Structure 1
Amino acid sequence: MKQWLHCASVASAALACAIAQPAFAQSSTPPAGDTAGTPAATPNSEIIVTGSRIRHNAFDQPSPVTFVDKADIDRTGLSAIADVLQRLPSAGGGLNTKNNSSGNLGNPQDGGGVGAGAAEIDLRYLGSKRTLVMVDSMRFVNASSASGVPGSVDLNSIPQAAIERVEVLQDGASSIYGSDAIAGVVNIITKTKQDGLEVSLQHGLYKEGDGFTRNYDASYGFHLDGAGTDVVFGGSYTQQKPVFRADRAFALFSHPFITSCDSSCSSATPLGRFIIGDDFDGTLNGVVQGRPAYDPADPYGPTSDFHAFSNADRYNTAPLNYLLTPYKRYAAFATVTQPLGDHMKFSSKFFFNRRQSANQAAPLPLFVGPGAGNGNLLDNIDISGSNPYNPFGDLWAGNPNEPAANYGEVARRLVENGPRHYTQTVDTYYGTATLSGDFQLFGHQWNWDVNGVYGRTSAHQTFTGNVNALHVQQALGPIANCTDPCVPLDLFGGEGTITQAMLNWIAFTEHDKSMQKIWDGTVNVTGGLFDLPAGTVSVALGYEHRHLAGSFTPDPIIQAGHGADIPAQATAGSYNVNEVYGELSVPLLKDKPFFEALNASFAARYSDYSTSGSKVTLKGGGDWKPVKDVMLRGTYAQGFRAPAIGELFGSLSRFDAPVTDPCNGLNAPGFNATVRQNCINAGVPSTGNFNQTGSQLGVLTGGNTALKPETSRSWVGGGVYSASWAQNWARVLTLEASYFNIRIKDAIGAVDPQTILDRCANTGDAVSCNAIRRNPSGSLQGQVTQIVGTLENISSIKTDGLDLNLTYRSPTFAAGSFGLSWQNTFTLKYDEMSPTADGTSTVKRAGTESGTQAYPKYKSVATIDWSLDGFSVSITGRYINKVHESGGDFAGHELGARLYGDVQFLWDTKVSGRDFTFAVGVNNIAGTAPPACYSCSLANYDPAVYDLPSQFFYARVGVKM
């Protein structure tokens, strides 16, 4: 990975990049020919580069665009384009295959689902939904993972063998491309021309021998001289095997640096936890066959099979979880380009991608009783004294027309049922058809294109390890009602006493599915209007119509509320949008003193959504070259993001949030009197030492059809210095600086559950108190069982920072060619404003870790390379500055800076007249471990930002013939 972000501006740096073609150079310059069939990039040619619909001179494109080509991708040794892009210093990370959230956190608040097996790109830490992903400047279908309706593209659904390069626009572009382009645009450019066969095979694995990957890519292209037809087709097979938490010491327990369970481990143990009456909180001394001995007068005495529950009894859920999730991807693609005379052509492409992925969590923790907080039937189960294994007698959940609740919960880890295993099969179909051409008007060439896009992705998930609450109720109820095939259930005898016959009755295999599709039609025309002394005034105009639809259908047992894992309801929705846009480019001055060039640009887009109304977005910018080697540029852009299908139509679903009940200790001396009374009014008992029993609380949230679009405004300004005077010792020497400032209003999110609790306790706010469900009686009286909320336009975000990039490429000396590429992103500010219990608060994220995302103030990637006679070596350093945890009991804990080193050796040669490439490399050559994180919800570190510990070795061979 030699020049990661070199040519981040393709303006004055473009010429320098064009001549920077050392032995293993990558195509980071304006393309030799884009998918619209533009000609090869020469100093006088005009092409389309991401960020504008107007064709510009390839060497005067002012947008801050980063190019990552096939050679850059190969140089990383990574098996997914998302992993490559997530290494960009401007990327905040995003979902990837190091995320193993299924069964651990519940469904996310936005209705998008857990995204198991998917991979996304997030620019500027603004979230993947605010980064628009396109393929050949056309929209791609959103992801599907059988757990919700996401609002982002799964990059793992795009065949990697089809990718020629990626253009990353780090500027607001809603006026050019529409919704979602707030943080920027990722435009994946695919192959349209190829001569012959190209094959690549790569294997890799970690030092421990796990996480084995294989990548096989093949493509074949040909040109028919008589017809002018170009055809390229090919396919990919990619496999990644898992890494388990049990195989890495830092992830072996639920908190870093511990060697045995503390309060962070689960209270649902294989021996069971039993909260009975007002003061019994016990667990078994050991395995008991049949009914355990229990003496109400001395429950922990020598004749009892129980002892008082403590942290030593808790269950370590970590070892069976994945650190790296497994998957297989099968992909095929085909593109055809056919001229239709001298001024028209037809082109089409087709993708198919199948992803088979998996997530895994510890065996199901079965919580039964009024204090369980499941939000379904399990909270209301009475356990009969006639159950042959129940030593406590009749246990009442406090249902209507029954005795008052006399137990809080019974918690049992169902280790006999095996781990909770989720497997996804996701099929993606995507096709486009384009008719394009050119004509003369106003004395200038005009280009037009008409495009049709259809994409569909469908996912099926199979989940083993769940149980049917209705069958659990019957198996725990009166023995007279449990007749064949029902088998009485033993929750009281400890590990191993749940038999296969019992599991056959209560367990079931869950089947969920989801779907998303897109129909998109666009018409674009661009050309010159008239000439000014400095050049031609050019315009682009267009119309776009989109239809998006999505659905999520959980298993019927889940929809009925009878599952023991995360509850969910079906979701379905669709919307249409019609848009028109216009873009204008005006050359103001050229070849004048202090005005080598001065250009202005303007753009506007009108969008009309069937769900959220209409919106106009504007953009204006300019670039100025006072002298040949310096270009200054700046843009102002309005942006917006329309609510996604999951955000609009998502049904109520649960996720588990680490929050603290402000009513804890309400009877302690000095406790605030107002808060105490509000807590008592909300159902907290006025006597005793009340404290929250769990570290996480269940939160139910869902979509809201009244949501408004998010809006933004952004400023981007900077310049590029290209040192032409240094050409005797530097074929390329460029320095680029770009300042960005982005403000987002009406950001969509759910009210923080901690805020809901605090508002109710501090002010007695009726809306907040009504959103909280507390246990009404029994030993768990007052405990929060649920917090309910919906998505709203509740917050705003402000961020600004600086990108600073240096590129150097030497001439070819006798000792070879040398290069340096150094890219840096400084996040100066990242502030989130959201409602609190007493108004609005601002959370300053820069330099912190939120538990799901690190916001380092500084990230850097530097690559040094050397090449001679077909042999190349590249060394890459990736630096992430320190951050501090921002919440919970460990607020302020430092996650130290990390420096990762990668190295690759490559040899290009000819064998029997065929071009061969051999490469070997090591990523994270020092085996650097990620910094330990207490607030991170998974695996004791942040998988969106940091590498797994241990070296990753890979070898690749490629051939062209």
Structure 2
Amino acid sequence: MERRPAPLFIAIAAALAVAPVAAQEAADTARALDTVIVTGTRVTDRTVAESTAPIDIITPEVLQATGTVELATALSRAVPSLNFPRPAINDGTDAVRPAQLRGLAPDHTLVLVNGKRYHPGALVNVNGSQGRSSAPVDLNSIPIAAIERVEVLRDGASAQYGSDAIAGVVNIVLKGSGSGGSVVATGGQYSAGDGRQYQLQADTGFALGESGKLHLAVQGGHQDQSDRARPFQGTVTPTSAPAGRVVQRYGDPEVDNLSLLYNGEVDITDYLTFYSYGLHTKRETLSNGFFRPAGDSRNIPSIYPDGFLPQILNTSTDVSVSSGIKTFTAGGTNIDISYTYGSNELEFDILNTLNRSLGPTSPTQFFAGALELKQHVLNFDFNKPLEWGLQYPVTLSYGAEWRGEQYTIRPGEPGSYVNGGVLVGGAPAPSGAQVFPGFRPSDSGSFDRHNISLYAGLEADLTDRFTAGVAVRYEDFSDFGDTTTGKLTGRYAFNDAVAVRATASTGFHAPALSQQYYQTTSTNFIGGIPFDLVTFRVTNPAGIALGAEPLKPEESENLSLGLVLTPANGLYLTVDAYRIKVTDRITLSENLTSTAVRNYLNANGFPDVAGGRYFTNALDTTTTGIDIVGTYKLALAGSTLDFTSGYNYNKTEIDRVAPNPAALEAIDPTALRFGRVELGRFEVGAPRDKFFLNNVWTRGGFSVSATATRYGEFTIRNASPTLDQTFDAKWLLDLAFSYKTGGWEFTLGGDNVLNEYPDESLFATSTSGQLPYPSQSPFGFNGAFVYGRVGFRW
């Protein structure tokens, strides 16, 4: 019987709400609404309550309100429209998991740090996870220990910030005070007895002379693997997994991480300030592939007599440095000139493996190559107030940006990809390292581009009730041409309690260099003859023969309409509906490997190629939804009770699937570039809705936090419609008990304390019962997590 914590939870909340109230205090809520925002506006004193677009302020207390130490996981629990599943057995995606905002692609959300563009990751997702085909930022490379707050703009903002801001913007504001600090230690594990982890966070501020300040932060820790795999339940054969024991692993990977960060500024003169931040994060992630049974043709019994479970060790290294100066002119123009460098390198080491074609002398581990993305950004930003005779000055903003990017694929060692010639039963053996053949020299290369953008905007309080804004941006890319986007915003306050707001904008996402140039090759033997199956870069001649074309930018049209309500002291409620139409979405095709395709390629200059897949602009989609976010604060007799609630409904529909290109149609009229599995990821792969209600009761130094979250149903489609499965909505309950005394804080908590799991997968899709849960589950499939935390702040 399914557990439903919601009725009890709501009943308790209702009982507390009608308890005797000494007074209704709104100080904390007012303080949050009066927070000056720096995201989505160039006005220097715009607050949350005055914003013309929906924006959430996520504080460090919210980020650390649960047992997670991952930024993306913490944000997914605080932002109702953010989806962050925990895929497993997905190669590099296990190490760099993508997050979705408003159901769009992970790389449709722009990430800023201190208002500066943060670099994307080097990984492009090519396996069967939500966010397949995307190349997003790795949010978990930014340590929670260094964060002052996170501003989440849930609105299209390409006209303000450029590429990627179709779904919205996540701006991470770093701690920058010149005093104070904290040390926080967290440890916990899953109730199943695995996934043990510990994390240490520390930060502190220093004064630099009389006019400067520097804040330092460090975060490091370890996480053990979790495992929810089960024994093989099929018919046991020499080529199957053994019965009665668990040989597969299925869950979170093992992770070791260390992050170092500084953030500071110095007033050089009364009118000139130098600022800078720097980040270095290194994360090693050990994940698992599929088990190779003892009698499998991919195994060598003399090396692994009982079979083997190959593993991927990904080492991800992120570096980000941003420096600049702020000044102003006698005419009142504020000037901000900055340079930002960012890079991500992702290395692949394959462990507990072999290259079957090398025979019994095969090594059992290989370096399989690396991916690297570098980004350079030079910004010139200006804004000044204009006196136009209105009640308030008009803010004029304008500026320019130059961005250069370089994407590199480094080949693995030869043993990770070669065929050594050893036969299996008289036939050639598979080539390369099992689970992940290395990148070949023919796959490798270094590719770059640059772009220049110009922008301008006006924002004004036209009256004491009506605020309006307009923005336009022009960008010219060296690889695909130019584009222009625009945005209109407006907010009208009927009175202090009711306001409406609306935005209309166009946007775009430039194809990532990794989407254009990623390539990997594996060799299959067909009739004893080796053929390459390739993920083609769009410039590969064989890919072009199958219809690959240069990628175009994805373009969007965003409309939103919102209602802002502050009807009583301590109560703040926003309702924002949106519609986002995206054309020419970039996605990865199915494998094109029919006999007709192979014969054509072999007869037209590609004798060793059997087919493959490529990225293409093939889909148009429309996403509609609504966000509802509210906060309420009560003062009870000797205590306070804070409510925070959020709800998101989101639906994506595919408007168009491009027909096969003429080149492919001529080769194989029956070729299928996009199947129902991939299309289902767009339309039904993420939950249709999500709701959470958080209560924090505080009395003196003691507090209790309880959060109920409902994740809506989602569906996984199969190539065979009879194996489609819809997974029911689930309620999860998180609890935490904290006590503060002096500068100390002690917390004991549990996430998913009722030990809820997603529905089990159909046996036919569970690898003979070994993988019982869907990796697309929006809350994972690890069960309850219990943790303790000790912190000291000064």
Counterpart-to-counterpart distance in 1, 2:673 and 2:253: 37
Q: Distance between the aligned counterparts of 1:791 and 1:771, measured in 2? A: 19
Distance in 1, matches of 2:295 and 2:537, equals 27
1:463 pairs with 2:350 = yes
Q: Which of residues 899, 922, 945 in structure 1 aligns to 2:750?
A: 922
Distance 1:579 1:814 in 2: 57
Query: Out of 796, 800, 804, which is 2:628 matched to?
Result: 804
Report the CA distance shift for 1:163/1:186 in structure 2 as closer, same or farther (over 3 A): same
Give the structure 2 partner of residue 579 of structure 1: 453
The residue number in structure 2 matching 1:289 is: none
- Does 2:108 align with 1:121? no
- CA–CA distance in 2 between the matches of 1:351 and 1:946? 29
Closer, same or farther: CA 118–182 of 1 in aligned 2, 3 Å: same
In 2, distance between residues paired with 1:316 and 1:630? 64
Correspondence for 1:869:
700
- The one-letter code matched in structure 1 to 2:333 is W
- CA displacement, residues 136-161 of structure 1 (integer Å, 9 cap, x when unaligned): 11112222469999732112222321
Matches within 5 A, 1:913-952: 915-934=743-762, 940-943=773-776, 945-952=778-785
With over 3 angstroms needed to count, the CA separation of the structure-2 counterparts of 1:67 and 1:654, relative to structure 1, is farther
Residues 465-520 of structure 1 deviation map (CA, whole Å, 9 limit, x = unaligned): 44335524xxxxxxxxxxxxxxxxxxxxxxxxxxxxx2x34655334222221111
Per-residue CA deviation, residues 613-634 of structure 1 (Å, 9 max, x unaligned), is: 1111111121111222111111
Alpha carbons 2:597, 2:610 under 8 Å: kept: no
- CA–CA separation in structure 1 for the residues paired with 2:520 and 2:388: 59
> 2:480 is matched with which residue?
612
1:583 and 1:845 mapped to 2: Cα distance? Answer: 43
Which residue of 499, 512, 526 maps to 1:631? Answer: 499
- 2:41 is aligned to 52
- In structure 2, stretches of 5+ residues that fail to align are 1-23, 127-132, 420-430, 540-549, 604-608, 660-668
Q: Return the match for 2:172 from 188, 191, 202.
A: 188
Partner Cα separation in structure 1 for residue 317 and residue 712 of structure 2: 39
Check 1:768–1:60 CA distance in 2 against 1; reply closer, same or farther (3 A cut): farther
CA drift of 1:76 comes to 1.5
Instruction: Give the direction of change, closer, same or farther, for the CA distance of 1:750–1:339 in structure 2 (3 Å limit).
Output: same
Partner of 1:241: 224
Shift in Å, 1:57: 3.1
Counterparts of residues 843-858 of structure 1 (less than 5 Å):
850=681, 854-858=685-689
Offset of residue 878 of structure 1: 0.7
Secondary structure (helix, strand or coil) at the match of 1:805 reads: strand
Does residue 434 in structure 1 map to residue 324 in structure 2? yes
Residues 899-936 of structure 1, C-alpha deviation per residue, up to 9 Å, x if partnerless?
000011111211xxxx1111111110100111223458
- Counterparts of 1:786 and 1:625, CA distance in 2: 63
Return the alpha-carbon distance in structure 2 between the equivalents of residues 325 and 27 of structure 1. 40
> One-letter code of the match for 1:799?
T
Structure 2 match to 1:719? 563
Query: Deviations 1:791-842 (Å, cap 9, x if unpaired)?
Result: 21111111101112232111x3324111221100012443363246789999
Which deviations, in whole Å up to 9, do the C-alpha atoms of 1:754-787 show, x marking residues without a partner? xx68xx89xxxx77984799xxxxxxxxxxx954
From 544, 549, 555, the counterpart of 2:406? 549
User: Which letter does structure 1 place at the counterpart of 2:393?
Assistant: T
Q: Contact 2:509/2:553 (CA < 8 Å) preserved in 1?
A: yes
Contact 2:469/2:489 (8 A) holds in 1: yes
Q: Deviations over 1:287-309 (max 9, x none)?
A: xxxxxxxxxxxxxxxxxxxxxxx
2:725 to 893, 900, 919: 893
CA contact (8 A) 2:652 2:683 kept: no
Equivalent position of 1:339 in the other structure: 267
Letter in 2 for 1:789: R
Matched, 1:957 2:790: yes
Query: Equivalent of 2:255, from 293, 317, 327?
Result: 327
Q: Does 1:813 align with 2:636?
A: yes
* Per-residue deviation, 1:788: 2.1
Aligned to 1:160: 144
CA-atom RMSD in angstroms? 3.7
Which of 54-63 and 609-618 deviates more?
54-63
Contact 1:366 1:412 in 2 (8 A): no
Change (3 A) 1:960 1:554: same
CA contact (8 A) 2:366 2:433 kept: no
Structure 2 distance, partners of 1:842, 1:788, is 13
Greater gyration radius:
1
Structure 2 counterpart of 1:208, one-letter code: A
Give me the TM-score of the superposition, normalised by structure 2: 0.82
What SS does the corresponding residue of 1:75 show, helix, strand or coil? Answer: coil
Which residue type is aligned with residue 714 of structure 2? Answer: V
**Amino acid corresponding to residue 346 of structure 2 in structure 1:** A
How far has the Cα of 1:859 moved from its partner? 0.8
CA apart distance, 1:314: 8.0
Matched, 1:748 2:602: no
What SS does the corresponding residue of 1:752 show, helix, strand or coil?
coil
Q: Please name the residue that 1:248 is paired with.
A: none
2:13 corresponds in structure 1 to none
Residues 207, 953 of structure 1: 8 Å contact kept: yes
Is contact 2:294-2:306 (8 Å) kept?
no
Rounded to whole Å, the distance in 2 between the matches of 1:317 and 1:551 is 42
2:70 counterpart of 1:76: no
Q: Distance in 1 between matches of 2:450 and 2:412?
A: 29
Q: Partner amino acid for 1:139? A: R
Q: Which runs of 5+ in 1 are unaligned?
A: 1-17, 32-46, 103-113, 246-250, 254-258, 273-311, 373-377, 379-409, 473-501, 591-596, 657-682, 685-696, 774-784
3-state DSSP of counterpart to 2:462: strand
Q: Is the 8 A contact 2:562 2:575 kept in 1?
A: yes
Pick closer, same or farther for the CA change 1:838–1:560 going to 2, 3 Å: closer
Deviation string 1:402-431 (CA, Å, 9 cap, x unpaired) is xxxxxxxx9999555742122122222211
Instruction: State the AA in 2 paired with 1:93.
Output: N
Structure 2 vs 1, CA of residues 27 and 190 (structure 1 numbering), >3 Å: closer, same or farther? farther
Cα gap change, 1:243 to 1:949, in 2 (>3 Å): closer
Secondary structure of 1:84's partner?
helix
CA contact (8 A) 1:551 1:571 kept: yes
Shift, 1:77, TM fit? 1.6
In structure 2, the CA distance between the partners of 1:936 and 1:544, relative to structure 1 (3 Å rule), is farther
In the alignment of these two chains, the number of paired residues is 713
Partners of 1:700 and 1:317 lie apart in 2 by 36
Map of 2:545 onto structure 1: none
CA–CA separation in structure 2 for the residues paired with 1:505 and 1:936: 31
1:865 is displaced (CA, Å) by 1.8
* SS of 2:39 mapped into structure 1: coil
Question: Relative to 1, partners in 2 of residues 1:844 and 1:452: Cα closer, same or farther, differing over 3 Å?
Answer: same
Aligned counterparts of 2:305 and 2:585: Cα–Cα separation in 1:
42
Change in 2 beyond 3 A, CA 1:788/1:49: same
SS in 1 for 2:203: strand
User: Aligned pair in 2 of structure 1 residues 154, 95: CA closer, same or farther (>3 Å)?
Assistant: farther
For 1:30-49, what aligned pairs fall within 5 Å after superposition?
31=35, 47-49=36-38
CA contact (8 A) 2:60 2:144 kept: no
In the alignment, what sits opposite 2:234?
261
CA contact 1:54–1:583 (8 Å) conserved in 2: no
Mapping 1:382-401, distance limit 5 Å: none
Within-5 A mapping of 1:309-320? 319-320=247-248
How far apart are the structure 2 equivalents of 1:936 and 1:884?
15
Relative to 1, partners in 2 of residues 1:841 and 1:713: Cα closer, same or farther, differing over 3 Å?
farther
Q: 1:216 to 1:786 in 2, by over 3 A?
A: same
Shift of 1:197: 3.3
Q: Is the 8 A contact 1:606 1:615 kept in 2?
A: yes
Residues in 2 aligned to 1:509 and 1:844: alpha-carbon distance in whole angstroms: 36
Selected match of 2:571 from 719, 733, 743: 733
1:232-631 aligned within 5 A = 232-245=215-228, 251-252=229-230, 260-261=233-234, 271-272=238-239, 319-364=247-292, 418-441=308-331, 445-468=332-355, 470-472=357-359, 502=360, 504-505=361-362, 507-557=364-414, 558-560=416-418, 562-565=431-434, 566-567=436-437, 568=439, 569-590=443-464, 597-631=465-499
Q: Structure 1 652/573 Cα, relative in aligned 2: closer, same or farther at 3 Å?
A: same
Distance (Å, rounded) in 1 between the aligned partners of 2:582 and 2:479: 20
